[in-house]
Amino acid sequence: MGLLSTLDREKKEAIGLLQIGTFLEYFDLMLYVHMAVVLNDLFFPKTDPFTSQLLTAFAFSSTFVFKPFGSLLFGYLGDHIGRKATVVITTMIMSVTCFVMAILPTYAQIGISASIGITVCRMLQGISSLGESVGSEIYLSEITKPPVRYTAVGLIGTAGAFGSMASLGAADALMALGLNWRFVFFLGALIAIIGTMARTRLRETPEFADMKRRLQIAVEATRREGLAQAADLLKSTSHIWKERVEVKTAIAYFFAFCGFPVCFYISYMYCGTLLKHDFGFTGQQVVAHNFILSVFNFIGLLAFVLLTYKVYPLKLLKAKLYIYYPFILLTPILLGAIKSPVLLVIFQIVGVVFGPSTIPAKAIFLIHFPIFKRFTYAGFIAALAHAMVYVLTSFGLVYLTDMLGHWGLLIITLPTTIGFTFAVNYFDRLEKAAENPKGLNIKKTAFKGAANYSGK
């Protein structure tokens, strides 16, 4: 695939293994999210429509609310033990929880214990998912160089989208054939085990391994020869582990991850509710409808990732924003005018394809964190953004749209999109400063410097 063909065999294998693992991970993670319209009726008590929306919001947000705790745990492991061990552990957790969900009795069988059990499984899946995805992206960021880095890391995101699409397709096929929904969760557990075994073949990233080796040599020299003899070694490594995370970088990174959760929830969950209530869709029909949406979502992400061969990633994000801003401003009017499911799916496609996603520029965001704090900080900030925005969106929209109708969507979509715009511009300035630290008037040359693309 273009520039990726220039990589050596080991790096190509790493990209392939991480893509497969991410695909399997998101297949498992998104199974319940996309089947919530069916499974919520099995694991939660039947209630009125408004309370049902709150239960749906609870089941959805429980996946993400504990992500920050998972990011701290797996961030620590990733920064102290290694990137490889972390992605293997998180994939195994996903397998175990999928198996438990496959055998868990329903609300009709054991009452509220079923609701608690399914929620705990969703929390564990949310905790493990972030360590997996961030670990894979950091791994590839550290073993590749621009511009290959942008494509390689972007392909991890598309693998996640493909996994989500496959989970929808599997759920749709099983229900269409009249098979038990539990089969798809058994399948999810099996493929997660395969993903765990595949990832044991990975090697630690050279950048992380080298930094850790240098620190270890310094510590051993200090113990063996005394502080005076080890001073030079400690001096050469101290800046690495003492390097601080810039507050503005952390804030911009947070805002970068606030945009897509809103877009995702509105496109899949909010519009899924509209399909049930306004168009009389069954749960199976909603899943089939959203499968079509997920296909376009995957194709859109893949197209933008492949465009990084020719176009600088941050330019792509800015181009998407030119389309997305008018779209969200017109959202209340568009939703009010939609009278058929076909028009609704077109609305959904525009939202997920041109929404404020960090793909394909995530590698740029990650690389501006210090190496020994990269996993912890990048993982925690992204998890915190996801948790806050998903909870705010899933619960907030129930009340906002109840009071204001579709206009209530703007109260959440506009601020998060503005924050995403700030993040893109901030990291663009960082990249330009890294390319030209003295402020000299130097033209960009193709595939050189921080930006790695010619022209503006």
C-alpha R_g of the chain: 23
The candidate with the shortest Cα–Cα distance to 93, out of 149, 57, 134, 132, is: 132
pLDDT in tens, 181-220: 788 788 778 877 776 666 666 665 555 556 566 656 555 6
Residue 449 region by backbone torsions, left for phi larger than 0, else alpha for psi between -120 and 50, else beta: left
355 pLDDT tier (thresholds 50, 70, 90): very high
Cα(115)–Cα(352) distance, rounded to whole angstroms? 30
Non-local (6+) Cβ contacts of 104 within 8 A are 43, 114, 117, 118, 121
Ranges 76-90, 98-112, 119-133, most confident: 98-112
pLDDT in tens, 58-80: 666 666 777 777 767 766 666 66
What percentage of the chain exceeds 70 in pLDDT?
74
Domain boundaries along the sequence of the chain: 2-435
Helices marked H in 66-147 = 67-80, 83-103, 107-110, 112-143
| Three-class DSSP category at 235 | helix
Predicted pLDDT at 55: 66
User: Mean pLDDT for the chain?
Assistant: 79
* Torsion sign, CA atoms 294, 297, 302, 305: negative
Burial grade of 219 (CB within 10 A; 0-12, 13-18, 19 or more): middle
pLDDT in tens, 116-161: 888 888 878 777 766 567 777 888 888 888 888 898 899 988 988 8
Q: Which amino acid is at 285?
A: Q
Position with higher pLDDT, 386 vs 59: 386
| Three-class DSSP category at 407 | helix
Position with higher pLDDT, 110 vs 181: 110
From residue 64, how far is each of 67, 68, 122, 141 by CA, in Å? 5, 8, 8, 24
| Three-class DSSP category at 307 | helix
- What CATH number is given for 2-435 in this structure? 1.20.1250.20
pLDDT in tens, 289-329: 888 999 999 999 999 999 998 899 999 999 999 999 999 99
